[in-house]
Amino acid sequence: MLSNMPPARRPKGSKSSKNRPAARHGAGAKPPGSASAGTIPIMALQTQSAPAAEEEQVNRYYLSLSTRYKILKLVVILALVAYCIGMVTAYRDDITVENFRYMLRDFNINSTKYTGEFDKISYSAGSDSRFALFKGDLAVVSPDSLYIYGMSGQTEMSEMLNLTDPQIAASDRYILVYDTSDTNPVFSVFNTFSMLYAEKLSKPISAASVANNGYFAIATRTEEYKGAVFVYSASFKQISRIYKDKYIMDVVMRPDGGEVLILSAFDSGGEWCGEIMTVAPGSETATAIITVAGSMPVKACYSKDGGFAVLFDNCIIFYDAEGFEANRYQFGSEIPVGYSLSPYFSMLAFNTTVLGNEKIVRFWDSSGGAIGTCAIEGRILCATSDSSRFYIQTPGQLRVINPYDGTYTSIPTSPDAIELLVYSDGVLVMCASDAATVYKVAGEEEVADETAA
């Protein structure tokens, strides 16, 4: 009788290949990794791809580089702080207000430029005031102050002074203010922001000039010499001391600062003679000396061509860039009652009669060539020129002259003009005692048309 009993269990650990189907890859067999129908296969984990690994490596490189730069930046900041503390400690006696002003010498501060017509700049000045244009601003020096005004009338800078006979000269870089009195031989250098340098000499200042590169020259005298010229660099260091046993009448810096022109007078056998001397800044040896017998020099001016014109008491002489005489005009019996020298034109005015107020005005171009004349009436208060016109101010009238043919236009103006300044071609600044008026004369309607006789 058969019993319904389960089969005996296999002992643990026993291995038998009986009843275990062999792995086959033949027909009907499932390949490894295949799943039965209706089941979800287990996806094998994939390793990181090569591009992703490369990107992670690049990021780690830049992260390391950034860390190095952060450390370097911290080291530089610490070194800078240590340096500043060390310098302040070592040179604390040299940290002064004057030195901070010295640092401002190269600041290029420009103000609002002129854009309108017939603008008026009001100020408080007197007949002893002097005027100059500096970087588009108007500088007004009086015995007690220096003011710089923008073309719209605003005050850019003010400085209190103590002068007796103030004079002013300006270039593209500095304003030079000096006193020509016998008791107060001082000069000061300014920019639009502040006073940069000041010095008091032992003897009176007779003339001064400043170049566009910041070099300037001061003419004076000493106990041993009748004349002396001190030349300073743009950093206010004295680079030349030129002594002369003659009376210095004028000193002019060439606009680029490459040459100093010195006019002096001396007595030779009871007759006054003039000497023209040129010197390179930094040197005390003359590059050229020209002597003019029987003439006393008065004023000199460089021309736009590199030559220069010299006005004497009895003639005017024009020299080329090499120092050779190009032209000369002897006054003869004529007595000049007005003159103006500029880089573009030179002008001399002579009375035509002893008692009358009529004048003949003669013009020369920059090379010394005589170009034209015109006849005007009235006392000449001031005169100047731009590159194509000449301007003569008489009481109440501004004459805009074509120097080549002598024709001119008259414009009614204030009767008390002190100085005429050229802002640009065709734009003038007429300075009076209480205000400066800007005139745009280019294209003005002709008020009175006259032709020279």
Domains of the chain, first to last: 334-453 (2.120.10.30)
Measured CA to CA, the distance from residue 196 to residue 188 in angstroms comes to 8
pLDDT of 19: 46
pLDDT < 70: residue spans in the chain: 1-58, 93-94, 96-118, 442-453
- Which residues are within 8 A (CB) of 424 and not within 5 positions of it... i.e. 6 or more apart? 386
pTM: 0.74
| Residue length of the chain | 453
Could you tell me how far CA 82 lies from the centroid of its own chain? 36
Measured CA to CA, the distance from residue 65 to residue 347 in angstroms comes to 72
- H/E stretch holding 271: strand 271-279
pLDDT of 124: 79
pLDDT of 106: 57
pLDDT of 316: 97
Compute φ and ψ for 3, nearest 5 degrees. Answer: -100, 145
